Amino acid sequence: MSRIGNAPIQLPDKVEVSVSKSNLVTVKGPKGELKQQIDPDLTVEVQDGVLEVKRPTEQQRHRAMHGLYRSLINNMVIGVTEGFVKELELVGVGYRASNTGQLLELTLGYSHPIMFALPQEVKVSTVTEKGKNPIVRLESIDKQLLGQVAAKIRNFRKPEPYKGKGVRFVGEQIRRKAGKTAAK
């Protein structure tokens, strides 16, 4: 029994959901519009501000898709009302970040700065305070795209386990290792 799939989604007043014949779910809200193609076996019903995803049988595949698509639609509803935010922290001496519109410039200890062009759906801002690590703040209504962009930026210089230098999510715990010990 899918517990996530069976949970109804409460739609806020400002959100409109429409389902086409080809099972394309469109969610419109104050922050924008998102679309998601749903598996043709599942049905999406909207009644009195409550959205429900229903499956035809108890097959393993249908149960898996039921929870997946309910979560995706819920993330769309949250995205168009509140939006999503990810913050990345640059830990290391000389690591810097700046942005010019949608172009993010990162200095991460390589011989050249990294220029990263962000998609139009993702808004970026950089914060550099004296005595603190630079922070890159990403905002979007699309949770999947936001996570993918944040993972790409983190991939430029992953945190290493000895000193903890690199690009990490704010609040992320890095597993640290002890370094070499001197031989006697």
User: CATH number for the domain including 138?
Assistant: 3.90.930.12
> Domain end: 27, 59, 81, which one?
81
Average pLDDT value for residue range 101-127:
95
> Is the model's pLDDT at 180 over the cut of 90?
no
Q: How far is CA 153 from CA 28, 81, 105, 149, 174, in A?
A: 29, 26, 11, 6, 17
Q: Band the pLDDT of 113: cuts 50, 70, 90.
A: very high
Q: Which amino acid is at 61?
A: R
175 domain residue, yes or no: no
Q: Residue range 84-97: average pLDDT?
A: 95
Question: Are 15 and 29 within 8 A, CB to CB?
Answer: yes
From 31, 56, 81, the end of a domain falls on: 81
Residue from 59, 74, 75, 73 nearest 1 by CA: 59
Boundary residue ending a domain (34, 64, 81): 81
User: Does a structural domain hold residue 178?
Assistant: no
Distance of alpha carbon 165 from alpha carbon 110, whole angstroms: 13
The model's confidence at residue 2, banded by pLDDT at 50, 70 and 90, is low
**Is the full-model pTM beyond 0.85?**
yes
Q: How far apart are the first and last CA of the chain?
A: 61
Whole-angstrom Cα distance, residue 67 to residue 13? 24
Using the predicted structure, report yes or no on whether residue 181 has a pLDDT greater than 90: no
Whether residues 76 and 89 fall in one domain = no
Q: What is the pLDDT of residue 175?
A: 92
Cα–Cα dist 105/173, whole Å = 25
Say if 152 falls within a structural domain. yes
Residues 67 and 128 in one domain: no
* Mean pLDDT, range 5-17, rounded to an integer: 91
Residue 103 domain-assigned (yes or no)? yes
101 class by beta-carbon count within 10 Å (0-12 exposed, 13-18 middle, 19+ buried): exposed
| Residue 119 binned pLDDT confidence (cut-offs 50, 70, 90) | very high
59 lies in some domain:
yes
Please indicate, yes or no, if residue 181 is contained in any of the structural domains: no
For residue 176, is it within any domain? no
pLDDT 10s digits, 54-72: 999 989 999 999 999 999 9
Structural domain tally of the chain? 2
Can you give the pLDDT at residue 179? 85
Asked if 75 and 94 sit in the same domain, the reply is no
Q: What average pLDDT does the segment 11-32 reach?
A: 92
The parent domain of residue 72 ranges over: 3-81
pLDDT at 182: 72
88, 163: one domain: yes
